[in-house]
């Protein structure tokens, strides 16, 4: 496990509290499935991707520190660059993790941390999940990490990619049943990817059955 300075840890927890508070007040943010989050060891967190809200909201609901991926272009804006650096975000290229992103993600997993990824590759255009892109399961296999399926719902309605600014709404996040390292090691890569996608879709379907979302017509 990596050792971060006390100010850095306090800053992270302050941001986590602030995000949960703002999310609850503005978006009636609700979490479920906390018991499914592995207490120790490396965890590859895999989620659907609906909006810019996804990384901070998914991370804020987890009591363990989350490692985020940030596109290299975001580092060009000074205030945002400072925030990203303060959270130890992992820089990625425009088309995916890139070699440096893969190496750094793997390094953090191997030291027992949690890393959040979105295998769809980009934010949804219509609120529906896109097929997962291959390759992410290699990170879990090589680091002997748990794979934690996660789903978020309502973030697309609150901030679709067609809007420059977000609007009010309701957002829920669920942490699904994780796949332990021994099962990850024993699976074929394609089979594992299919199983992870199935679990994320299952979590997403559960959220959509909630009264807050059931029967809702989604629009951009």
Q: What is the pLDDT along the chain (220 residues), one digit of tens a residue?
A: 457 999 999 999 999 999 999 999 999 999 999 999 999 999 999 999 999 999 999 999 999 999 999 887 777 777 788 898 899 999 887 555 577 888 999 999 999 999 999 999 999 999 999 999 999 999 999 999 999 999 999 999 999 999 999 999 999 999 999 999 999 999 999 999 999 999 999 999 999 999 999 766 555 5
Q: What is residue 46's three-state secondary structure?
A: strand
Q: Where are the domains of the chain?
A: 6-208
Is the pTM value of this prediction over 0.75?
yes
What are the backbone angles phi and psi of residue 67, rounded to the nearest 5°? -100, 130
Q: Give the pLDDT score at 2.
A: 56
In angstroms, the Cα distances linking 106 to 44, 135, 204 are 10, 13, 27
Q: Report pLDDT for 218.
A: 57
Residue 54's closest CA among 204, 219, 196? 204
Contacts of 133 (CB under 8 A, 6+ apart): 96, 119, 120, 121
Residue 31 dihedral angles phi and psi, to the nearest 5°: -120, 150
Quickly name the fold that domain 6-208 has.
Glycerol-3-phosphate (1)-acyltransferase (3.40.1130)
CA 48 vs CA 1, 21, 39, 135, 153: distances in Å: 27, 23, 22, 16, 9
Beta-strand runs (E) in the chain: 30-32, 43-47, 66-67, 69-71, 90-92, 114-117, 146-153, 172-175
Token duo for residue 101: 């992103």
d(Cα 139, Cα 151) in Å, to the nearest integer? 20
Q: Mind giving me the DSSP string for 121-132?
A: -S--SSSSPPPP
Cα–Cα distance, 21 to 16 (Å, whole number): 9
Q: Looking at residue 73, what is its pLDDT?
A: 78
Integer Cα distance of 189 and 194 in angstroms: 9
Any residues with CB less than 8 A from the CB of 59 and at least 6 apart, and which?
Answer: 16, 19, 66, 68, 116
């Amino acid at each position: 496990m990596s050792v971060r300075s006390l100010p850095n840890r306090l800053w992270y927890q302050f941001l986590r509290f602030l995000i949960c508070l703002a999310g609850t007040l503005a978006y009636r943010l609700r979490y479920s499935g906390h018991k499914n989050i592995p207490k120790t060891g490396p965890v590859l967190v895999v989620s659907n991707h609906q909006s810019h809200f996804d990384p901070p909201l998914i991370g804020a609901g987890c009591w363990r520190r989350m490692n985020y991926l940030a596109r290299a272009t975001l580092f060009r804006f000074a205030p945002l660059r400072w925030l990203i650096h303060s959270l130890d975000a992992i820089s990625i290229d425009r088309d995916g993790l890139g070699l440096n992103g893969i190496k750094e993600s793997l390094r953090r997993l191997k030291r027992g941390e949690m890393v959040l990824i979105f295998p769809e590759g980009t934010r949804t255009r219509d609120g529906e999940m896109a097929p997962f892109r291959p390759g992410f399961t290699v990170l879990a296999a090589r680091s002997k990490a748990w794979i934690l399926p996660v789903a978020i719902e309502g973030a697309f309605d609150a901030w679709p990619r067609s809007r420059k600014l977000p609007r009010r709404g309701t957002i829920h996040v669920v942490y699904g049943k994780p796949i332990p390292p021994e099962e990850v090691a024993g699976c074929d890569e394609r089979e594992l990817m299919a199983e992870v996608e199935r679990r994320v879709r299952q979590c997403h379907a559960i959220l959509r059955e909630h009264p807050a979302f059931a029967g809702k017509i989604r629009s951009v």
